Amino acid sequence: MAFDLSAIGSQFLVGLSRSMILFIVTAGLSFVLGVLRVPNIAHGSLYMIGAFSAFSITKLVPGAEGFWLALVLAPLVVAAVSFIAERALFCHLYQREHLMLLLFTFALSLILGDLVKITWGAEYKSIMAPKLFDGSVSIFGASIPKYNFFLLLIGPLVAVGLWLFTSKTKLGKIARAAAVDREMVGAVGINVSWVFAFAFVFGCFMAGLGGALMAPTISITLGMDHNLIIEGFLIVTIGGLGNMWGALVGSLIFGLTQAFGVLFWPQFAIVFPYTAVVIVLLLRPRGILKSVW
């Protein structure tokens, strides 16, 4: 094969940086899945809203400040949207069968998808990363864009933050307890409905953060929700439903197989991660790491 090592190396790094975004998004998905036991189909739409909000914020506040502001505010916008949806509608369904909750999130994704179209229109949008991230850096002879390098730093930071949050704070512990045994959590006098609300909003916040981080690397369009959510589900499934580290492992598998697919067989690059998922599911149907279910 005529691939030189630096091409492989930089493709590896690009794949790794994409995995980081996938991880941030799917960690949120996995969190909701773990606590509420609902595969949130609207997660992709919230990710899309994150990207579009980031676009609007950078339009309002030009320059580097706008970008950093977008990274902070866009996830909060998404969290607000999901909070409204949860308290107004979703929280009344917790007693119903599982399928209804799933279909509710699908209905929500349909509605949010069209609301995005109404608010932002159907044209392609794009965001420029701050000047700071122009150009590329080279690591061991492989060069990657500076922005991807930034993502490589952000990913582990978020992972550590999530770990600290879920294992060291009271709220995180309550959420984890609710994932394992919700009756017990209720029995010790904690309002489970609000724990669910918090988990849902927190998961959606992560979707918004992922969308805002992703925005400078892609063209922001309608339909980005559909592509993402299916990848997200597969990632959390192969990782182990509800397991946050599983989301990390799944994201790495997905992002890296996709990146190497681009290198080896560009036309069918999209087939590689799906094949990897099928292989994992055949070998370990319940995912690589332990599911919280």
Partner 1 sequence: MLKSLSLKSVLFFAVLLVLLLILPPVLPRFYTYILTLIFVTALLAMSLNMVVGHGGMFQFHHGVFYGVGAYAFALLLFKAHMPLWFGFMAAPVIAAFAGFLIGWFCVRLTSLYFAMLQISLGSLLWAIVFRWYALTNGDDGIHGVPLPSFLSSVSNAYYFILFFFVLCLVVMYLIHRSPFGMTLQAIRDNPARCSAVGINVRRHQLMAIVIATFFAGVAGVLFVVLEKSVFPDLLFWVLSLEIFIMCLLGGWFTFAGPILGAAITVALRTFVGIYTEYWTLILGVLLILLIFFLPEGVMGFLVQKFGKARHREGAPARG
The answer to whether 239 and 289 are in contact (CB under 8 A) is yes
Q: Does 230 bind partner 1 (CB under 8 A)?
A: yes
Q: Is 22 helix (H, G, I), strand (E, B) or coil?
A: helix
Q: Does 277 bind partner 1 (CB under 8 A)?
A: yes
Residue 288 contacts by C-beta under 8 Å, 6 or more apart in sequence?
A: 238, 239, 240, 246, 249, 250, 280
Q: Measured from the CB atom, is 86 or 133 closer to partner 1?
A: 86
Strand segments, DSSP code E, in the chain are 136-139, 142-145
Q: Does 93 bind partner 1 (CB under 8 A)?
A: yes
Q: Does 292 bind partner 1 (CB under 8 A)?
A: no
Residue 144's DSSP bridge partners are: 137
Which residue in the set 4, 65, 98, 121 belongs to the binding site for partner 1 (CB under 8 A)? 98
* Sole window of 13-21, 66-74, 132-140, 227-235 interacting with partner 1 (rule: CB under 8 A): 227-235
Footprint (CB under 8 A) of partner 1, residues 232-251: 233-234, 237, 241
Instruction: Name the residue among 32, 44, 10 with its Cα closest to residue 227.
Output: 44
SS (H, E, C) 194-231: HHHHHHHHHHHHHHHHHHHHHHHHCCECCCHHHHHHHH
State in angstroms the smallest separation of the CB of 117 from partner 1. Answer: 7
Tell me the per-residue interface mask from 50 to 89 with partner 1, x by CB under 8 A, - otherwise: ---------------------------------------x
Q: Is 284 helix (H, G, I), strand (E, B) or coil?
A: coil
Q: Measured from the CB atom, is 149 or 293 closer to partner 1?
A: 293
Q: Measured from the CB atom, is 167 or 275 closer to partner 1?
A: 275
Which residue in the set 136, 226, 260, 262 belongs to the binding site for partner 1 (CB under 8 A)? 226
Q: Does 271 bind partner 1 (CB under 8 A)?
A: yes
Question: How far apart are the C-alpha atoms of 105 and 79, rounded to whole Å?
Answer: 15
Q: Where along the sequence are the contacts to partner 1 (CB under 8 A)?
A: 39, 41, 89, 92-93, 96-98, 100, 103-104, 106-111, 113-115, 117-118, 226, 230, 233-234, 237, 241, 267-268, 270-271, 274-275, 277-278, 281-282, 285-286
